[in-house]
Amino acid sequence: MHALLEKLDTGLIVSCQPVPGGPMDNSACVVGFALAALEAGAVGLRIESLAYVEAVRAVTDAPIIGIIKHDLDDYDVRITPTAAMARNLGTVGSDIVAFDATARPRPESVGDILAAIHAEGALGMADCADLEDAKSALAAGADCIGSTLSGYVGNGPEPTLPDFELIEKMAGLGGFVIAEGRIRSPEQAAKALAVGANAVVVGSAITRTEHIVSWYRDAIDAQGHDARNRARG
């Protein structure tokens, strides 16, 4: 196992990605999220954009998974979709560069993106939607594979629970597996490790206040609605 991955093994990686355009979408907040997460015991960070990776790298030497989210006119892939973006993430201090490794049409191949990542001395994390994505990414030379995009490819409704089945199957491939996607409780994080993940990424449930508040609000509103109905009955 690569020494960098050993640092992440059996640990929590916190994704410090504020809601785009929200009140916390600034370098000071992202750096604050990152330092607070590390102080509490996170072993690594997942950071979006060159500016935010650079800002966080300036205050810590903890492992950073860097990504760029970029919408393209002709393709659905949007997580670090080009080799140039991957290369730039390595230049500003990402230890690992994550990218969309799904089988969807793409502007550049997984192999080209991995070559750019490795040229900067970084490791490549393949964000996958299914087991075939993971197999192909490992064959292309990915250093680790993630369940990040499970449930986000296709036309159906987005699931609400983590894809534990995919995580378990990915673990059977023999690579370093990072569980990511809809992990919203300590129990779910622990289960991801129990079914075979090497590390777990948690984002919204820790660093997106707007999402967390909405979960509580919806639950409270539903309970209040039920209580009012019972009172009327």
**Per-residue pLDDT tens digits for 130-166:** 999 999 999 999 999 999 999 999 888 889 999 999 9
Q: Which residue has the higher pLDDT, 230 or 203?
A: 203
Q: What is the pLDDT of residue 5?
A: 98
Q: What is the pLDDT of residue 223?
A: 87
Q: What is the pLDDT of residue 154?
A: 84
Strands 96-100 and 144-146, bridge-based pairing: unpaired
* DSSP tag of 159: P
DSSP bridge pairs for 40 = none
| Helix boundaries (H) for the chain | 3-8, 27-39, 50-57, 83-91, 110-119, 131-140, 164-171, 186-194, 204-207, 209-232
Phi, psi of 98 (to 5 degrees): -100, 145
Question: Mean pLDDT throughout 1-23?
Answer: 97
- Amino acid type, 112: D
202 CB-near residues (< 8 Å, 6+ apart)? 12, 13, 14, 15, 183, 184, 189
Whether the Cβ atoms of residue 186 and residue 15 lie closer than 8 Å to each other: no
Q: What is the pLDDT of residue 233?
A: 62
- Please state which CATH number belongs to domain 3-232: 3.20.20.70
Confidence of residue 227 (pLDDT cuts 50, 70, 90): low
Q: Which residue has the higher pLDDT, 4 or 222?
A: 4
Confidence of residue 231 (pLDDT cuts 50, 70, 90): low
Phi, psi of 66 (to 5 degrees): -100, 145
181 torsion bin: left (phi>0), alpha (psi -120 to 50), beta (else): left
Q: Is 160 exposed, middle or buried (0-12, 13-18, 19+ CB in 10 A)?
A: exposed
Structure tokens at 12: 């929590």
The tens digit of pLDDT for each residue in 72-127 reads 999 999 999 999 999 999 999 999 999 999 999 999 999 999 999 999 999 999 99
Q: What is the pLDDT of residue 232?
A: 66
Q: Which residue has the higher pLDDT, 228 or 103?
A: 103
Question: Mean pLDDT throughout 207-230?
Answer: 86
201 CB-near residues (< 8 Å, 6+ apart)? 13, 14, 15, 46, 65, 146, 148, 178, 179, 180, 183
Look at the block and give the residue holding tokens 């015991």.
Answer: 41
The CA distance from 12 to 187, in Å, is 13
Q: Which helix (H) or strand (E) holds 108?
A: none
> Quick one: what percent of the chain has pLDDT higher than 70?
96
The tens digit of pLDDT for each residue in 54-78 reads 999 999 999 999 999 999 999 999 9
Q: What is the pLDDT of residue 228?
A: 60
